[in-house]
A and B are shown apart, each in its own frame.
Chain A
Amino acid sequence: MKETEAFFARSAALAPFERMTRAELDRLLLAKLRRQLERAWRANPFYRRKLESAKLGPADLRSLADLRRIPLSTKEDFLADQQAAPPFGSRLGVPREEVVLVNMTGGTSGKGQEIYGRTQHDVAMQGFLHYLPWYMAGLRPGQMALNCVPAGGLTTGGWGPPEGFRIAGATAVHVGGALGTDAKVDLLERLGELHFIYASTNYMHTLTEAFRRRGIRPADRLPMMQGIFLVAEGYPAEWARAIEEAWQCRVHEGYGSTQGAGFVCSTCEQGAVRADGRRGLMHIFEWLNYTEVVDPETGVPVGPGEEGEIVLTTLDIQGSPVLRFSTRDKARWFPHDACDCGRPWHCIEAGGVGRYDDMLKIRGNNVWPLAVDQVIFAHPEIAEYTGRVFVDDAGRTEVEIRLALKAEALGIAAAAKERLLAALREGIKNQTNVAMQLREVPIAELPQFLYKARRWTDERKSGYAAKK
């Protein structure tokens, strides 16, 4: 398999961040954090209150450890602030008229969606926070790039990629949500040239399977491919290796979020799986998003190889910045020297970012079981249900809801039952943006939840059968 040679054509702009010592980077981070606190103190009432409650003024920040004196911000904090000062809350930090793009967090927790106002500067930063990881993965100006993630809409994940490809100078084809999989393969056959693919883990699997069903090895048809960049879902290392084999290029991964205004970290030239078969490491762009990984119980930073919660602080975002945002994302942390690429940037492990709550990432949507509960149990005929996320034979992520009626509802007419199921399907789609299959089963086929209900199972990792 060819290496992404283009990666080694170093950027003079990136080089200082790659070559500084860890101590130099820490000094830069402290200076940028102090500047960010000064901005928040001056222009952001939400964070001014947080800082005052912690009795921490900008001048009091004398070490990186001092930052931990600031209480974490949570989704609930943001939602309460938005409710008190709609629509952006008191954490906007810039005049409302300077907002040129509105982003919201994907899906719904059943609690509400966070709203973010982006300035012209922020839109450009969002683009860079997508271009930077893709540059590291080998994307170069003039190359053909396939964006399989639906563009536009309300999310950072919808707006960041088109901006990133534009400032990359890539010839981007935004097919996500616009074409079915077979139509995408047809288009790629017509284009005859492709260097880079940006896709969710699940969709990369689906696309590769579509080629396989046609009896085509992607690398034979598109031998110029330079890199594949995965987002959104975990995967087994063997699966990533099989994708590299099929496409004959390196698989990369990035982790990002709306709170971080784009990607927070991504893999280096070693990719998502290292030569010795170990998972790759995603290097954190710490000078743009200060990132802590802490024990969620104690708040203390975790040690090498340990899992903790990702806590984000933006350093160069003007509108709706975040200071110590509690993401509820779970990652395994490694110090910078755990990777032999030499960069001083600390890392989190590729392929394994999970959640501390029960949120499921389904086809790019954040789905909280509570949101589905609220739709289903709004219908008094339903006794219980379970949800199962799986990969079907065609490589598509599907969701099956098995639900049981209460005894008194068992006798309802077939037409009424069909209407009930249709209403549930529509309600679930409206609430989660995910179409789910509904199947009625006898109550005896469903588990009894005697304590906390565990209605959902995620079988996707076992479903990514490694096919070459």
Chain B
Amino acid sequence: MSAGDDEMRILETLQREAERLLASPDPLMRSQYQHLYGRITALIAVKACAVPDSAAST
């Protein structure tokens, strides 16, 4: 597995964890978690050199 694959796997893990934060009931934090989540999805977008089959539904 290349370093690039490993970074992508970490980013996808972070995305899943950040999704849980989006459900926070704390309005002070929730918007900042949305900010974090947007950063992660953008990093995935700029690194992805393939479109996973599941992407069609995202």
Residues of A within 8 A of B (CB): 12-13, 16-17, 20, 28, 31-32, 34-35, 38, 58, 98, 119-125, 128, 132, 287-288, 316
Contacts and interface: CB of A to CB of B under 8 A. Distances in A.
Nearest to A315: B45
Contacts of A31: 50-51
B1 interface: no
B25 interface: no
Interface of B: 2-4, 7, 34-35, 37-39, 41-43, 45-47, 49-51, 55-57
A377 B7 CA distance: 60
A134 to B, nearest CB: 14
Contacts of B55: 35
Nearest to B32: A120
B38 A123 contact: yes
A17 B42 contact: no
A288 B49 contact: no
Given A13-B46, A13-B47, A288-B46, A121 B41 contact: yes
A120 B42 CA distance: 9
A33 B57 CA distance: 14
Given A13-B46, A28-B51, A120-B37, A35 B56 contact: yes
Which interface residue of B39, B45, B50 has the most chain A CB atoms within 10 A?
A: B45
Which 9 A-B pairs rank lowest in CB-CB distance, beginning with the nearest?
A: A120-B38, A124-B42, A31-B51, A121-B38, A316-B45, A16-B49, A121-B41, A38-B56, A125-B42
Given A98-B34, A121-B38, 18 more contacts: A12-B2, A12-B4, A13-B7, A13-B47, A16-B49, A17-B49, A20-B49, A28-B51, A31-B50, A34-B56, A119-B38, A120-B37, A120-B38, A121-B45, A122-B42, A124-B41, A287-B49, A316-B45
A124 B39 contact: yes
Contacts of B41: 121, 124
Contacts of B39: 120, 124
A124 B51 contact: no
18 contacts: A13-B4, A13-B46, A20-B49, A32-B51, A35-B51, A35-B56, A58-B56, A98-B34, A120-B34, A120-B39, A121-B45, A122-B38, A124-B38, A124-B41, A125-B45, A287-B49, A316-B45, A316-B46
B49 A12 contact: no
Contacts of A132: 46
B17 to A, nearest CB: 16
Nearest to B2: A12
A35 B51 CA distance: 8
A316 B42 CA distance: 8
Contacts of B37: 120-121
Given A12-B4, A16-B4, A124 B43 contact: yes
Contacts of A316: 42, 45-46
